[in-house]
Structure 1
Amino acid sequence: MSFGLPSVKVKPEHAGNIPVQGGPFGIASPLVAGFGVTKNKLGMSHPLQASEQNYHLNEEKMNMSMLRNIQGCHAPMKLSMERKFASKVGRLPFLPSSNLQHDVFTGRYLDIGFEDILNTPEFCEISGQPHAMVERSLGIL
C-alpha cells in the first residue's frame, strides 16, 4: 500500500542542457556567464550528486502528498500559491537577495548547507555592470 505517496527510492534524472550564448569565438564570456559554464559539459562527479540535487524536490513532493491525504487538496494548493508568490519577490539582478521569505515557507531556513557557507555574495564569480545585467534579464541584450 503506497497511499499515493511518491517512492522513497531515488531515481536518477538527467539534467537538461542549458544553452549559453557564445561570444565572438563561440566561447561564453566568463565575465558575463561565470566560470561555472564549463561545468555543464562535465558529467556527474559522484554517484550521490543526482540524489542530493533532487533531495528538496522529493521531500516537498512527499510532504505535499501527505498533506493532501490528511487535509484535502486545499492545503497543498494554498501552500504552493504562497511559495510561488514568495519566490517572485526579488530585487534587481545585480543586488544579492537572501530569499528569506521563500526559505521560511519551504522550511529551508532551519538547514545549514554548503550553499549557505560557500554561496556568499562576496565570493560570487559573476560581477558585471548593473545596466548590462538588467538588460540581459529583460532580454534586451
Structure 2
Amino acid sequence: MSFGLPSLKVKPENACNIKSQEGPFGIPDPMVAGIAATKPKISTSHPIETSERNYHLNEEKMNMAMLRNIQGLHAPLKLTMEMKFANKVGRLPFLPSSNLQHDVLTGRYLDIGFEDILNTPDVCEIAGQPHAMVERSLGIL
C-alpha cells in the first residue's frame, strides 16, 4: 500500500550524457573541447561514481520524503525554508565562513571529510586585500 506517496528509495533522475566532437581517433579533440573532455572517453568510471557524486542530494531527497510521510508536508517545508535562510547568511568576501548552521540542518556536521582537514582557512592559497575583494564583489572593480 503506497497511498500515492513517492518511494523512499532514491532513483537517479537523469544521466549525464554529453556529446562532444570526436577527433580522427575516436576521442574528443583536445584543442577544441579541452583536455578535461578526453578523460571520460579514455578512462573507465565505476558504476557507483555517479551515485557517490550525488550522495548528499540523494540523501536529502530521501530524508525529506521520509519526513513528509511521517510528519506531514509542513516538516520538510519548514526545514527547506530554514536551509534557504542558512544559505543566505552572508559575510564579507575576505572572511571565511564555516556554514555551521547549514551543516547542522543537513547533518553534515557529524561527518569528517577531505575538506575538513585540508581546506582550512589558515592554509588557504588565496588571500587578497580586503578592500579589493569587497569592491570586486560589489562590481566596482
Instruction: Determine if the TM-score, normalized by the shorter chain, exceeds 0.5.
Output: yes
Tell me the residue number matched to 1:24. none
1:124 aligns with 2:102: no
Amino acid at match of 1:67: L
Question: For 1:39-82, what per-residue CA distance to the aligned partner results, in whole angstroms no more than 9, with x for missing partners?
Answer: x9625685455433321111001111111122221110100111
Higher Rg of the two aligned structures: 2
The question of 1:139 aligning with 2:104 is answered no
| 2:87 maps to amino acid | S
Name the aligned partner's letter for residue 126 of structure 1.
I
Deviation at 1:12, TM superposition (A): 4.2
Give, in whole Å, the separation in 1 of the partners of 2:97 and 2:17.
Answer: 29
Looking at structure 2, the residues matched to 131 and 14 of structure 1 have their Cα atoms a distance apart, in angstroms, of: 43
**C-alpha distance in 1 between matches for 2:130 and 2:49:** 34
CA contact (8 A) 2:83 2:105 kept: yes
Fraction of identical pairs, as percent: 71
TM-score norm. by structure 2 comes to: 0.67
Residue in structure 2 matched with residue 98 of structure 1 by the alignment? 98
- The size of the alignment, in residue pairs, is 117
CA contact 2:87–2:102 (8 Å) conserved in 1: yes
Gaps of 5+ in 1: 16-39
> Aligned in 2, Cα 1:59/1:71: closer, same or farther, shift over 3 Å?
same
1:132: how far off?
1.9
2:123 is aligned with what amino acid? F
- Higher-RCO chain (CA-CA 8 Å, sequence separation at least 6): 1
Distance 1:14 1:94 in 2: 38
| TM-score normalised by the chain length of structure 1 | 0.67
Q: Does 1:66 align with 2:45?
A: no
